[in-house]
Amino acid sequence: MAYNTTFLDNTKLIKVYYNPFDGELHSRDGIIKNGSSPRLTNDEIVSMRWLNENVIGTIPPLEELTDSARQAVMMNGIKGITQ
Map out the domains of the chain as residue ranges. Answer: 3-76
Q: What pLDDT is stored for residue 82 in this prediction?
A: 54
Each of the 83 residues of the chain gets a pLDDT tens digit; together they read 555 555 566 667 677 777 888 888 988 888 888 888 888 888 888 778 888 888 898 888 888 989 998 888 888 766 555 55
**pLDDT at site 67:** 92
| 3-state helix/strand/coil string of 15-35 | EEEECCCCCCEEECCEEEECC
For residue 14, list its beta bridge partners.
7
pTM assigned to the model: 0.55
